């Protein structure tokens, strides 16, 4: 599990045969073989490391759902080590399981912040709500606006976040990894799962109705 607070930017040394090689610095303070590292928000497992360079395998599933397949040697990537219990949860709960890819439609700047407008598929947009949380390339961000008619949402980026993450190098048309808030996905599942069939039988005695509905959630503070 991660928080969406990027620790540093790494540099891609190579990506071939479903193995990505990344040069980094800070994350090597306590890195161990088998550790999880979020690379642009995608949870990867360290398969080997030496001299500030680590390797990680990339599955076909990860390549199909993320922008990692577009990376080339020299590209910078966001890096975050897995959360430990003695660290503050500064962002929000991020699993490192990317849901899909969005496209940056517009970048606008003013004196205080930078606004990114991101278009993404409808199956991802249904979990994105105004003032809710979303992970963009692994960065925990707050949704500023939602435009369901255009399947897009906007986020405001402060100068520090822009400078310390790969968003600094992004432009309109670039792909970004999107991970929806996991709580919303669980709530949807609970609300839609009306019947439980514990033994996969058609016997009505083995089915139980769920008591979890919108009234129950509101009553219990959700």
Residue 75 lies in a domain: yes
Q: Which of 81, 113, 130 is the last residue of a domain?
A: 81
- Domain-embedded: residue 124: no
Residue 64 resides in a domain? yes
CATH code, 74: 2.40.30.20
| Predicted pLDDT at 201 | 44
**Which of 81, 112, 145 corresponds to the end of one domain?**
81
Tens-digit pLDDT string for the chain (222 aa): 999 999 999 999 999 989 999 999 999 999 999 999 999 999 999 999 999 999 999 999 999 999 999 999 999 999 999 998 777 778 898 999 999 999 999 999 887 789 999 999 999 999 999 999 999 999 999 999 999 999 999 999 999 999 999 999 999 999 999 999 998 888 888 887 654 444 444 555 444 555 666 666 666 655
Looking at residue 198, what is its pLDDT? 41
According to the model, what pLDDT value does residue 205 have?
47
Residue 111 lies in a domain: no
Of 71, 104, 120, nearest to 173 by C-alpha is 104
Q: What's phi and psi for 39, nearest 5 deg?
A: -110, 110
Any residues with CB less than 8 A from the CB of 159 and at least 6 apart, and which?
Answer: 113, 114
pTM score of the predicted model: 0.85
* Residue 139 covered by a domain: no
Q: Is residue 213 part of a domain?
A: yes
Task: Confirm whether 140 is domain-assigned.
Answer: no
> Helix (H, G, I), strand (E, B), or coil: what is residue 87?
coil
Residues spanned by the domain of 41: 8-81
Contact (Cβ atoms closer than 8 angstroms) between residue 170 and residue 176: yes
With respect to residue 54, please indicate whether it lies within any of the assigned structural domains.
yes
Domains: count for the chain: 2
Backbone angles phi, psi at 207, to 5 degrees: -105, 140
Last residue of a domain, one of 81, 98, 114: 81
pLDDT value at residue 216 = 66
């Amino acid at each position: 599990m991660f928080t969406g607070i990027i620790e540093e930017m790494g540099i891609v040394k190579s990506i071939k045969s479903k193995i990505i090689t990344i040069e980094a610095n800070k994350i090597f303070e306590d890195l161990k073989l088998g550790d999880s590292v979020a690379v642009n928000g995608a949870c990867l497992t360290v398969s080997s490391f030496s001299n500030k360079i680590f390797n990680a395998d990339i599955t076909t599933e990860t390549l199909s759902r993320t922008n990692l397949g577009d990376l080339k040697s020299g590209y910078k990537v966001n890096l975050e080590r897995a959360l430990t219990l003695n660290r503050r949860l500064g962002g929000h709960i991020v699993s490192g399981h990317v849901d899909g890819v969005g496209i940056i439609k517009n970048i606008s700047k003013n004196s205080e912040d930078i606004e990114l407008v991101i278009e993404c598929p409808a199956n991802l947009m249904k979990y994105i709500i105004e003032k809710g949380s979303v992970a963009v390339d692994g960065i925990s961000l707050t949704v500023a606006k939602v435009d369901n008619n255009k399947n897009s949402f906007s986020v405001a980026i402060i100068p520090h976040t822009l400078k310390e993450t790969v968003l600094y190098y992004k432009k309109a048309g670039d792909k970004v990894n999107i991970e929806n808030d996991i709580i919303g996905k669980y709530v949807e599942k609970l609300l839609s799962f009306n019947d439980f069939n514990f033994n996969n039988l058609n016997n009505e005695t083995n089915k139980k109705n769920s008591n979890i509905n919108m009234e129950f959630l509101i009553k219990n503070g959700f």
